[in-house]
Structure 1
């Protein structure tokens, strides 16, 4: 008999107080994992622009600008950010400019970059009563104003994977009720992997959400069904996450550096699985960080997690999370000693610049050492 590999927990319909009820166990889920092509760069035009600062300097050189903030202006106080939080343009380059047809004496500026969204399908709402935009650089310095912008505001996009099929499922009663006449057929379910011992390996951001449209007897038999769901707009999990979860199905990793062969994106996924299944410290001070594979900041987080909390351990997966861990409660509370072996690898790779993967200033070895020192962590670079 084929054993179920996936567990779904969440809620159905549109309840006032969504719960985390067990919904189903399934042999497989088609459409949960997919590798999408890189997100295409976007063209944005600042209309009726009075550029200043680095933006003004870049008009004729078509220079790379990096991050740009767009925010509303207070009425009668041009150039000052207003009440709307604004939008962020990432990895921005000036393509060109020309006299503005709608605003004499000003220019329209064409840019290429990425509008900052959590998920590529996210919509970006145009704020009500928008009468102008204040432009700012990454450090908050003024970059001028513009009357309007195109290429930023948009409706939510269609899901890249329009349908998900739950294969060989045994449904809990709360899920079975979806097929009663008149019941709303909505499902919002977090997905976990069922380990060899029956425990659930949790995942941070793997979901099946949408409208249930069909249920048919499964080829796996024994009263099982295949359920088809029209997906909500959201990106699928990368296929490499499935490989990572398969490692954890056999039980918590007992060997360090199983993450080392993954690229940056999947190292981040590894740290997310480690966070979701954090079980406390299995190491003792002083902590030994194996630095051989710290070729990026994601590798640093994976290596640090295992230094403090053993194979598969977690101790932060971004700067805010690391700050939180250094305040205690995640397996070690400063002051403590960290022996960083093969630190020359990080010294070579964690250097200043722009991190095009995370779309922001690169996290440097010096910055990390400063964080550790601020929290009373004694780092011995070896």
Structure 2
């Protein structure tokens, strides 16, 4: 598909977005163009808060700092990534959003380890199988994906493997949309469409795709 063929139209306002979808052969096809998209740049709805217990922790980094001062203010950890490892590599991962340490105490099974109760919103990027490796290892990382640092490890996490409702999706409204023939065909018989994904390409003032 040639972007320049669809990046301009005979109207007083510019084309700002193209609607594109791959066909069965992997070719990108033009599905429409529009002047605006409402709901594209809104903040995600934060996940509901939950209470989890990190069992048998060996804390490090920000988690170790949060546990170092007993009786002090609640430890704020920010976002924490939990990776479930088998003997060689991570096989599952979860995001604990805005994690806060609520309480901690020595582990009953091993006083050298710590049980940590935290409050967080849980984001599950994929719907993981509840089956775990024979000897799972839970690695903790604090910070964003780009700048995550180790925060320790633990033996298990109570409250992590539960069923959750899917996060609500933000609907998009296409403003000033001129639909291509494939999209018009879907609009004529929407129940016949498999409702697969579609891409929204943003254009700059010169009609070039912004990556």
Normalising by structure 1, we get a TM-score of 0.37
Say if 1:168 and 1:44 are closer, same or farther in 2 by CA, change over 3 A. same
Give the Å deviation of 1:73: 5.3
Give the Å deviation of 1:18: 4.1
Please say if residues 7 and 200 of structure 1, whose CA atoms lie closer than 8 Å, have aligned partners that are also in contact.
Answer: no
Q: CA–CA distance in 1 between the matches of 2:57 and 2:34?
A: 56
How big is the alpha-carbon RMSD for the aligned residues of Structure 1 and Structure 2? Answer: 4.2
* Equivalent of residue 38 in structure 2, options 25, 30, 34: 30
| Match status 1:175 vs 2:203 | no
Q: CA–CA distance in 2 between the matches of 1:125 and 1:16?
A: 26
Q: CA–CA distance in 1 between the matches of 2:166 and 2:186?
A: 26
Q: CA–CA distance in 2 between the matches of 1:56 and 1:33?
A: 36
5+ residue gaps in structure 2? 1-10, 143-148
Give the Å deviation of 1:84: 1.5
**Paired residues, number:** 181
Aligned equivalent of 1:84: 91
Please say if residues 38 and 174 of structure 2, whose CA atoms lie closer than 8 Å, have aligned partners that are also in contact.
Answer: yes
1:72-117, Cα deviation, whole Å (9 max, x unpaired): 355xxxxx775525345466442213688xxx547752224565x6
Please say if residues 82 and 141 of structure 2, whose CA atoms lie closer than 8 Å, have aligned partners that are also in contact.
Answer: no
Q: Which has the higher contact order (CA 8 A, sep 6+)?
A: 2
5+ residue gaps in structure 1? 75-79, 204-275, 277-382
Give the Å deviation of 1:44: 4.5
| Match status 1:134 vs 2:138 | yes
Normalized per residue, which structure has more strand?
Answer: 2
Normalized per residue, which structure has more helix?
Answer: 1
Q: CA–CA distance in 2 between the matches of 1:87 and 1:19?
A: 33
Give the Å deviation of 1:172: 1.8
Normalising by structure 2, we get a TM-score of 0.58
* Equivalent of residue 7 in structure 1, options 17, 37, 41: 17
1:279-332, Cα deviation, whole Å (9 max, x unpaired): xxxxxxxxxxxxxxxxxxxxxxxxxxxxxxxxxxxxxxxxxxxxxxxxxxxxxx
